[in-house]
Structure 1
Amino acid sequence: MARSDEPDYVFRDRHPERHDVYALYDLESERTRREVQCLLDLPYGTHPRMTFDLFPGGRHAPLAIFFHGGYWQSLDKRRFSFVAKSLLAKGFSVALPNYPLAPELRLEQITEAATASIPAIIDVVSEHTGPPSSWLTTGHSAGGHHAVWAGLHARPHPTVSAIPFAGTAPISGIFDVRPLVGTSLNRALGLTIQRAARLSPLDCDLPPLRYRILVGAGETSGFLDQAAGFAGRLRSAGRDAESRVLAGLNHYTILKDLLLPGSIITGVLKEMADMEEKPCREAKR
């Protein structure tokens, strides 16, 4: 494949503000872990990165599972603890899994690990809050891929199937993996077109669920096309799919929306879980 997709997916140098954005996320995440109840680095497998952080909500609170991005080869859940704060305030329990990374493991193995995190998370949440009233998946970039892929593949597990699945809300997600094969990102991923196609939610027969797709207006055409193409594919199959383009936000800044009192992303997740307004959760004492 030609390397014409490189600028759509390899754009760190175009966004020097990412350093400040990541510094903000780190600061807000450290504050979140300090101020609210959290259970850190709970194992769900034998690999050192098969752990998750849990921010338990109230009794039988719906569960939001957030997967971090990094093109399946970088980043860590601890940078994104801040995601939990606004969701806790709206009555959710929140879990953030880590997962093994490329090039140590193939993408097939990475997606299997992410899928395995879900029943383990639901087991632990149930111990602390009682079974959640429902669960949903979300995540950013490659984590958006996990949100769709792991969410759907975990559904048949007995622990998971007993809990209503409210749907999936990927943020700046990757739904067609094939464009990455011709980019420098594939040095770590080592994908062929055939394997990338098999790992692409765009080409799956996706079940009738709620799909809420979010993307920043300032993202590259590659990510805007990913969101529009996936939403269109779902709607043409008769699925309950909606897409939203968030004004003024790019691939690095889109999660800053979760730091705002009127967060659009939080509102979408709240609507998915069919929740009524709940009081803010008390800070950890």
Structure 2
Amino acid sequence: MTTFAVNDWDDAYENGRNIPNGSDWPGVWVAPAQAFRDRGSNRLDIAYGQTERSKYDLFLPEGTPKGLLVFVHGGYWVALDKSYWSHLAEGAVAKGWAVAIPSYDLCPTVSIAEITVQVGGAIDHAAAAVSGPVVLAGHSAGGHLVTAMMCEDSPLSPDTLSRLRHVVSLSGLHDLRPLLATTRNEMLRLDMASATAGSPALKRPLPGVRLTTWVGGGERQEFLRQTALLANIWHGLGCATQAVVEPDRHHFNVIDGLAHGSSPLTRTALHDPDEV
């Protein structure tokens, strides 16, 4: 019998201090993100709501898009914005897809539940601008937010849901209850009721939407566990799932494949069984 014990929940969910040169992130993303914005075909700062952060950037391929990929960033619901991730649109754009990357309001100004609704509004707005299938990808806290979109209480509109094909959670957090034991909760302001209500792993998935959970082999044990957790539970509820552990990747570089159209990550995200 194997026994696991966590004595320091802050360390269990701490990435930067447990990655060589971890303090380099998020700074290393700034230059490639700016470079892609400068050279790509894009529409920046499209408002989808009333607040200053309720905006998204839309990156377009040549010709009519095959569909829409929405990437939702991480930052533990308390940090960062859309500007750090623009280069991650490059892989899908090269494959003929449009890519939307939204910002959203942050805790503690708003709750995680409010962010979830807000992200749903961003996806609906982008989906109204781009026809075809919709694929969602999100990293870390963004992985939580995109998997919330395929739950039975999804905030997405019926039209968007009818087009939603695949959700990819990269190092996502799918059970929020362990965060109650972290100092981060001073900003998140979760209690047991809200953590339970906001956890995709404790909900039923919508039918007809595939789930891929993807994590780096060098990540913290909690991120490996959370990745396996959702795929396992939802498989038992009839969802088509797969859980991928990418070797030699940590929490910050596990997303890099999205910048390349030929990467396993991009090819997995955009593959639609209906086209085979």
- Matched letter for residue 269 of structure 2: L
Identify which of 38, 54, 59 aligns with 2:58. 54
Displacement of 1:18 in angstroms is 3.0
In the other structure, the counterpart of 1:281 is: none
In the other structure, the counterpart of 2:229 is: 229
TM-score normalised over the length of structure 2: 0.90
Q: 1:35 to 1:273 in 2, by over 3 A?
A: farther
Identify which of 38, 42, 46 aligns with 2:42. 38
| Deviation per residue, 1:9-51 (Å, 9 max, x gap) | 1232222523434333211111110111111111111111111
Gaps of 5+ in 2: 1-5
1:206 aligns with 2:205: yes
In the other structure, the counterpart of 1:76 is: 81
Task: Provide the rounded CA distance (Å) in 2 between the counterparts of 1:90 and 1:231.
Answer: 27
In the other structure, the counterpart of 2:10 is: 6
In the other structure, the counterpart of 2:266 is: 266
**SS across alignment from 1:218:** coil
**SS across alignment from 1:114:** helix
Give me the identity figure in percent.
29
In the other structure, the counterpart of 1:280 is: none
- Matched letter for residue 166 of structure 1: R
| Deviation per residue, 1:190-249 (Å, 9 max, x gap) | 101121011000001112221011000001110000011111101111210001001001
| Deviation per residue, 1:178-201 (Å, 9 max, x gap) | 111110110100101121011000
**SS across alignment from 2:167:** strand
Question: Which range is displaced more, 251-260 or 210-219?
Answer: 251-260
Task: Provide the rounded CA distance (Å) in 1 between the counterparts of 2:25 and 2:15.
Answer: 15
Task: Provide the rounded CA distance (Å) in 1 between the counterparts of 2:95 and 2:135.
Answer: 14
1:240 aligns with 2:240: yes
| Contact kept in structure 2, 1:111 and 1:146, CA below 8 Å | yes
Q: 1:114 to 1:243 in 2, by over 3 A?
A: same
Displacement of 1:72 in angstroms is 0.4
Written as runs of structure 1 = structure 2, the 5 A alignment for 1:1-285 is: 4-57=8-61, 58-125=63-130, 131=131, 133-152=132-151, 153-155=154-156, 157-161=157-161, 164-208=163-207, 209-260=209-260, 262-272=262-272
- Matched letter for residue 214 of structure 1: W
Task: Provide the rounded CA distance (Å) in 1 between the counterparts of 2:191 and 2:233.
Answer: 23
| Contact kept in structure 2, 1:21 and 1:253, CA below 8 Å | no
**SS across alignment from 2:104:** coil
- Matched letter for residue 53 of structure 2: R
Task: Provide the rounded CA distance (Å) in 2 between the counterparts of 1:56 and 1:9.
Answer: 35
- Matched letter for residue 94 of structure 1: V
Q: 1:245 to 1:138 in 2, by over 3 A?
A: same
Displacement of 1:88 in angstroms is 0.4
| Contact kept in structure 1, 2:210 and 2:240, CA below 8 Å | yes
- Matched letter for residue 138 of structure 1: A
- Matched letter for residue 21 of structure 2: E
CA RMSD of aligned residues (A): 1.9
Task: Provide the rounded CA distance (Å) in 1 between the counterparts of 2:273 and 2:35.
Answer: 26
**SS across alignment from 1:82:** helix
TM-score normalised over the length of structure 1: 0.88
Alignment coverage as a number of residue pairs: 267
Task: Provide the rounded CA distance (Å) in 2 between the counterparts of 1:39 and 1:18.
Answer: 32
Task: Provide the rounded CA distance (Å) in 2 between the counterparts of 1:80 and 1:275.
Answer: 28
Displacement of 1:272 in angstroms is 3.7
- Matched letter for residue 113 of structure 1: Q
